Amino acid sequence: MGKTPTWAVDAQIDGETTAKELTAIIEKAIRNGDLTKGTRLPTQRTLADQLNINVGTIARAYRQLKDSGLINARRRHGSFINDIKSVDGQSSDGNRAVNLRTFTATPDIFIQLFQGALADLGKDVGKLREISGYRTHEMLGDERAVIADWLGNGDVSIDPASLLFAENGTNAISTALIAFCKPGDTIVAESLTLPGLIVAARVFGLNLVGAPMDEHGVVPDALDAICATHKPKLLLCMPVAQNPTCVAMPEARRRAVVNVLKRHEVLLVEDDLYFDLVPKAERVPRMATFYPDRTVVIGSPSKTLAQILRSGYVIAPDGLRQFMADSLTAQSLFPPALTTHLWSRMIESGAAAEQIAYLRTQLALRADSLKHHLPKSITSGVVPFGWIPLPPTASATEFGMRALLAGVAMRNSDEFAVPGTPSAPGLRVNLMGSPAFDDYERGLKIITDIVGTTGYMADIQP
């Protein structure tokens, strides 16, 4: 699909398309990993309308996919992709969708920098021996000092003792949920939030409520009403750049949100994941600055360096630290010494700064290109994502599916939507999903073509 121009693919799917051909197209997307386990397919009627195909053809294709075990149909819930492993040879035919969905390949520059860090560690037998056994936080004193300094970013002083290490950012978030909530409690997040948080709330038996957002992030009055009604334990929000909408919270909004939390005595989990991509002149104080005793800051270098270094961190004030430490202990007893050490080594050698500088240049270039192709898209300039708002009546899943059939994989707002909370439809483009700039632009062209033909663009508000 990747190599096929948009309209060649669309031309193949018309009133003449047989169920067998449609089955083959969807099967290929599943085997390639472009349609992943659990993804819900559009209803037969919807897909028939979208693709201009007889609904009977769609029904036969879905049945064939079900018979071959590729999808399962749950009554009243829809059809979902099953868990199938990519078969060798089928995913490497050079015909995959352009990946604007998730991080799968790491830029070469990181590989070189990481190679250097590994080689240095390989020569440092004393250090290798030291970190090869179980390490407590106290035993990771050097790493704590270096990373606390990095997280201070030259702006604030962070006490190394307030810093704890988790396995990754997702784990740092779960750690806070385990530390401060019990089943039946309510938590609040932005109405579009991290898919991992949505799953965590379900697994932990928490009631997740979505807070409305505007162009500055969480709306304080709406949060106030939620706090009054639901008495939540905590709010998790992403002020640096909201994932997926890319909204950055200005200082006034950060203060206003914190004031609501103070009034209702609600804890804050501040997701800080992209802080180091923000240039110095544009930095805004962390929300923790305005609510120091009741905020836990979490993050990880998984997006700014690479997924292999998903060394999560937690900055917790005195009164909350032991709860977080106990929660971490309950999950893994000891902090992850190797990734934490490699991260600190890359900070000390200047490799982390070099990688950030590279990413900033790439992100600026790719954000410009996104704006050029889709002028009403939203980019923050600092996160590796862009957001394409769709009109309120559009179905994000259907648009995502249509784009996939035309050769580009993206995430759509239905994947981030807090169940039961209204949210605006949109598409999230991963600016770094395809390390090659040409592939990235090819993906954008496909989206632009589809947006043009659906007429969505005229409706999308800036």
List of residues contacting ligand PLP (CB under 6 A):
168-170, 194, 238, 243, 271, 273, 300, 302, 310, 312
Is the distance from CB of 399 to CB of 449 less than 8 angstroms? Answer: no
Beta carbon nearer to ligand PLP, 310 or 402: 310
Q: What tokens were used for 294?
A: 């009741």
Burial of 119 (0-12, 13-18, 19+ CB in 10 A): exposed
Q: Please answer whether residues 234 and 257 qualify as being in contact, where contact means their C-beta atoms are separated by less than 8 angstroms.
A: no
SS3 category, 86: coil
Q: What is the DSSP string of 150-219?
A: HHHTTTS---GGGEEEESSHHHHHHHHHHHH--TT-EEEEESB--HHHHHHHHHTT-EEEEEPEETTEE-
Sign of the dihedral through C-alpha 314, 315, 317, 322: positive
Cβ nearer to ligand PLP, comparing 273 with 447: 273
- Beta carbon nearer to ligand PLP, 238 or 447: 238
CB of 169 vs ligand PLP, minimal distance in Å: 3
- Looking at the Cβ atoms of 303 and 402, the one nearer to ligand PLP is 303
Q: Least Å distance between CB 100 and ligand PLP?
A: 15
- Measured from the CB of residue 271, what is the shortest distance to ligand PLP in angstroms? 5
Pairing of strands 267-271, 295-299: parallel
Cα separation, 246 vs 379, whole angstroms: 6
| CA distance to 68, 325, 428, 452, 461, per residue, from 456 (Å) | 35, 48, 16, 7, 10
Q: Which is nearer to ligand PLP, 312 or 335 (CB)?
A: 312
Question: Closer CB to ligand PLP, residue 2 or residue 217?
Answer: 217
State the minimum distance, in angstroms, from the CB of residue 273 to ligand PLP.
Answer: 4
Give CA–CA dist 224/229, Å, rounded: 9
Under 8 Å between Cβ of 324 and 175: yes
Q: Closest-CB residue for ligand PLP?
A: 169
Minimum separation from the CB atom of position 300 to ligand PLP (A):
3
Tell me the closest approach of the beta carbon of residue 147 to ligand PLP, in angstroms. 14
d(CA 400, CA 412): 6
- Residue 63: burial class (beta carbons within 10 Å; 0-12, 13-18, 19+): middle
Q: Which is nearer to ligand PLP, 237 or 450 (CB)?
A: 237
How near is the Cβ of 373 to ligand PLP at its closest, in Å? Answer: 23
Nearest approach, Cβ of residue 74 and ligand PLP (Å): 27
Closer CB to ligand PLP, residue 162 or residue 300?
A: 300
